[in-house]
Structure 1
Amino acid sequence: MTTTSTHLEPVTPEAVQAALNKLASRAMGLTGADIERIVRQARLKARREKRSIRYEDIEEGIRMDRPMVPYDLRWRFAIHESGHAVVHHALRLGPIHGLNIDTPTGGGYSQLGFTASGSDTLGYREDMLAMLMAGRAAEQIVVGKVSAGSGGSEDSDLARATKLALAMERSLGFGAVQPLLYHDDKDPTAVLDGNPDLAARIHAQLERALARAVEVLNENRDKLDALVKALFDAQALDGVAVKQLLKHSNRAGGS
C-alpha cells in the first residue's frame, strides 16, 4: 500500500510581516473600530467553519462587498496617487507607508510620512506644495487632462495646498508683502474672497508648485509609469513595495 503525504512549507516571520503589511495597506482609510469589527467577524467565520483564521477572511472583510472600482477610475486613482508618491520620494519628504486605490470612501489614499528635518524652512514648504499638487500634475501628464479629484472638499489636495500657501504668505513669515505681520486666518475662503491681490499671489504660488511637480514627474517618468501599473494591478501597495519601485529615484527639482 502506497501512502502519500503533503509537505507544507513553514511560514516564515518575513512572510507573516509581508501579509500584515499588505492588509494594513488595504485597510488604509478605515477607523480602529472598523478594523476591530472586521477581525471579530473573521474570527466568527473561522470558528463556524472549524478552522484557523485566514488572510482572505480579513481581506474580504476590508472590501465589505463593495463593487469593483470601474476600470477608468482605477487607472485615474492609480495615476493620481502615484504622482503624489513619486514627488514625495524625489523631494525626500519622508517615508511612504502605503498607497491604496480601493478605499471604503471610493477614492485613492496615500499614507505618507514626513521628516522633521528642515520642516521649518521655506524650501520644505515649497516641496510640500509641489507634493500636494503632484496628483493633479500626474493626471495632466499621463491623461492629458485633470479630474475633480484634487478638489471638492476641505481635506482635498487643493484645499490643503491653498491653506499651506496662505499660511506661508500670512503667518509663517515667508510672504511677499509685509512678511513680518502675523495673521490668524481661521476662514481662508473669506480672506481670499475679500482680498483679490492676495488671492492672485496665492494662486501664482500654486501654479509654480504645479509646474514644479510636472517637472519632477517628467524627470522621473519611468518611476511614475512603473508605479501606476503596479498600483493599478495590486490596488494596494505597502511602503516596502513602493520603495522597491522608487529606490533609484534621485532628488529632482531642487528648491
Structure 2
Amino acid sequence: MPYKPYKEVALGLASALIIFLAANGYDLLPLLFLGGALGLLFYFLHSRGAVRSLVVKGGKDDDTITFAEIGGQRAAVEELKEALDFIRHYPQARRLGVRPLKGILLTGPPGTGKTLLAKAAAGYTDSVFLAASGSEFVEMYAGVGAQRIRNLFQMARERAQQNGKNRAIIFIDEIDVLGGKRGKVNSHLEYDQTLNQLLVEMDGMKGDEKVNILVIAATNRADLLDPALLRPGRFDRQVRVDLPDKEGRLEILQLHTRNKPLAPEVDLEAVAKETLGFSGAHLESLANEAAILALREGANCISQRHFMEAIERVMLGARLERRPGKEEIWRVAVHETGHAMVSEWIRPGSVTTLTVTPRGGALGYFRQQYDEDSYLYTQEQLEGRLAVLLAGAIAEEVVLGTRSTGAANDFEQATRIAETMVRSGMSRLGVAGSAEVPEELHHELLKEIFSRQEERVKNYLEGNRSRLISIAERLLAEERLTGEVFRELFAQERVPSTCQQEKRGGKANK
C-alpha cells in the first residue's frame, strides 16, 4: 500500500495558517478554543468506539478444543462434521463438482455450546479461528460497521497466511444483531449497510483462493434473520443445537466433574434425571456450585447432597436471609404441598423435593421429575400439568379460604399450556388456526380448560384435606422434604387433632 502523508500535510497547513494569522495581528484565542473542542470531540469518539478498529478474538494453540470435549450434542456434532468434511477433503469433493460451503448457522437456546462447536470446527479443519460479536459491527455512525466487516475478512486472510494455513473460520456470535431483516430501521441505514457488506463478502468467497474462509454464525433467534442471509450460497447449512436430553446431560456432567473429587455415593445419572431443561452452561455451573458447597463445609470430596443443593441454587438462587412471617410461611407450605399431592396423585413417584426455604424470588419450591424427556405431549399429559400448576392456589383456597399472589407464575405457565392445547385442536373448537379464532372465543376456550381442571383438583384436595394439612405441618416443621419422605407421609391417613382442625378450619370458614 503506497504511503500517503495526509497527516503531515494537514499539520503543515494548520501551522502555516496559525503563523499567518498571528503575523497579521488576529486574535488566536477563539481558534485555539475551537481546536481544543475538536480535539476533545475526537478523543470522546475514539474512546466510545466510533473510530476504533474491530477487535476480534483468535484461538491460540493451547485453546484448541475437539468435538470429543463437547458433551450432549451428538446430533449437532455429527451434522457439523459432515459439513466440515467437504472442507477437509476439498480436492475429492471438487472432482465430484461439490461447491464449497460458505457459511454454517448454529441455532439454539443460550448456553448449549454453539461457541464451543465453532472452536472445535476450527481444530477439526486445521483453520485459523477468529471470533467477534454481532454488536461490534453496529454503530450510530454510517459506514463504520461495513468497514469492520471488510477488516474482519482481511484480517482472517492475513492471519492464515502468517500461520502458514490455507483455511480460516470466522465466528460471529449473536448474528441477529447485524443480520436482522432489512428495512425495519427507517431512520438509519447503518444496519442495512453492515448486512449488505457481509453479503458482499460472502458472495466474493471462492473455493480456489489462497485462503478459504468459512463463516460460522450463532443465534437463538433465527426467525429475526434477513432471508438473504439464509439462502443457498451464503449460510448453506443450519445446525440445530438443542438442550441436551438425559443421556446428554449425563455426558456433560461427566466432563465437568473429571477434575473434581466425588464421593462414592454420587450418582450422576440421578442428577441428570433431576435437571430436565438444563443447558450445558447450567450443568457446568451446577458442578461448580456443588464444589463450592463442599469447600464451604471443609469436605474432602463432593457428595450427592451437594449436587442436590446446587440444583436449587442454579434454578432459584441462594437462600434468602429474610424469612416470611408465620402466616405467610404456613400459606407457602400449604401451597407447595398442594402441588406435590396432585403431582403424586397424577404421576406416582414424580415428586423429588418439597421445601419452604426462600430462594431467589421464590418463598418455596416443589420439584418433580420425569421418567424421560418428551418431545410430544398428549392431551392427558397437558391436562395433568395444568392440574399440578393449579393445585397450589386451590390448596390455599381449600385450607385457608382464599388465594394469594404466590400463584401468579403458576397461572402464567398454565396459560401457555392451555393456549398450546387450543392451537393443537384439544379444545371443543377442534382444529382451527389461531388467527381465525376471535379473541372473545379464545378467552372462553381457555376458561373452559381451566374450569375443568380446577373442579377436578378441588374435588381431590377437599377429599384429602386432612392429609394436606398433615403434610404441610410436617413440611413447615422440617422446611424440606425429600420425595421418599413425602411419599411415606402421602401414604398415611393421619387425621389432625381437634384443636388443629379448629385452628385450620377456623381460618378456612372465615
The equivalent of 1:113 in structure 2 is 369
Q: Secondary structure at the match of 1:133?
A: helix
- Unpaired runs of 5+ residues, structure 1, are 1-12, 26-30, 186-190, 250-255
Equivalent residues in 2 for 1:26-175, closer than 5 Å: 33=285, 36-37=288-289, 39-40=291-292, 43=295, 46=298, 66-92=321-347, 94-105=349-360, 106-114=362-370, 120-151=377-408, 156-171=409-424, 173-175=425-427
Q: Structure 1 residue 232 and structure 2 residue 476: aligned?
A: yes
Change (3 A) 1:40 1:168: closer
Q: Deviations over 1:132-155 (max 9, x none)?
A: 11001000011100001111xxxx
1:86·1:223 contact (CA, 8 Å) conserved in 2? Answer: no
Change (3 A) 1:73 1:36: farther
Q: Secondary structure at the match of 2:427?
A: coil
Distance in 1 between residues matched to 2:467 and 2:385, nearest whole Å: 20
Give the stretch that moved more between structures: 194-203 or 141-150: 194-203
Change (3 A) 1:139 1:35: farther
Give the stretch that moved more between structures: 97-106 or 81-90: 97-106
2:334·2:392 contact (CA, 8 Å) conserved in 1? Answer: yes
Q: Name which one, 1 or 2, has greater alpha-carbon Rg.
A: 2
Distance in 2 between residues matched to 1:167 and 1:225, nearest whole Å: 34
Task: Tell me how far 1:222 sits from its aligned partner.
Answer: 2.6
1:86·1:220 contact (CA, 8 Å) conserved in 2? Answer: no
Q: TM-score, normalised by structure 2?
A: 0.35
Q: Structure 2: which amino acid aligns with 1:228?
A: A
Q: Structure 1 residue 242 and structure 2 residue 486: aligned?
A: yes
**Match for residue 222 of structure 1 among 466, 482, 496:** 466
Change (3 A) 1:160 1:64: closer
Q: Structure 2: which amino acid aligns with 1:138?
A: A
Task: Tell me how far 1:65 sits from its aligned partner.
Answer: 6.4
- Unpaired runs of 5+ residues, structure 2, are 1-262, 275-281, 494-510
Distance in 2 between residues matched to 1:139 and 1:159, nearest whole Å: 18
Q: Structure 2: which amino acid aligns with 1:43?
A: L
Q: Secondary structure at the match of 1:97?
A: strand
The equivalent of 1:4 in structure 2 is none
Q: Structure 1: which amino acid aligns with 2:292?
A: R
Task: Tell me how far 1:102 sits from its aligned partner.
Answer: 0.9
Task: Tell me how far 1:123 sits from its aligned partner.
Answer: 3.0
**Which one has a larger percent strand, Structure 1 or Structure 2?**
2
2:342·2:387 contact (CA, 8 Å) conserved in 1? Answer: yes
2:419·2:446 contact (CA, 8 Å) conserved in 1? Answer: yes
Distance in 2 between residues matched to 1:170 and 1:248, nearest whole Å: 41
Identity %: 23
The equivalent of 1:28 in structure 2 is none
Change (3 A) 1:67 1:39: farther
Change (3 A) 1:164 1:70: same
**Match for residue 447 of structure 2 among 203, 206, 219:** 203
Q: Deviations over 1:20-76 (max 9, x none)?
A: x9xxx9xxxxx6637734743652563xxxx879x9xx78xx765613332122111
Give the stretch that moved more between structures: 80-89 or 36-45: 36-45
Task: Tell me how far 1:182 sits from its aligned partner.
Answer: 5.3
2:342·2:388 contact (CA, 8 Å) conserved in 1? Answer: yes
Paired positions, count = 203
Distance in 2 between residues matched to 1:44 and 1:212, nearest whole Å: 46
Q: Structure 2: which amino acid aligns with 1:181?
A: A
Q: Deviations over 1:138-195 (max 9, x none)?
A: 00011100001111xxxx2111111111111222x31211x23355x9xxxxx99x60
Change (3 A) 1:44 1:143: closer
Change (3 A) 1:246 1:64: closer
Task: Tell me how far 1:101 sits from its aligned partner.
Answer: 1.3
Change (3 A) 1:231 1:44: closer
Q: TM-score, normalised by structure 1?
A: 0.66
Q: Secondary structure at the match of 2:481?
A: strand
Q: RMSD of the TM alignment (CA)?
A: 3.6
Distance in 2 between residues matched to 1:146 and 1:79, nearest whole Å: 11
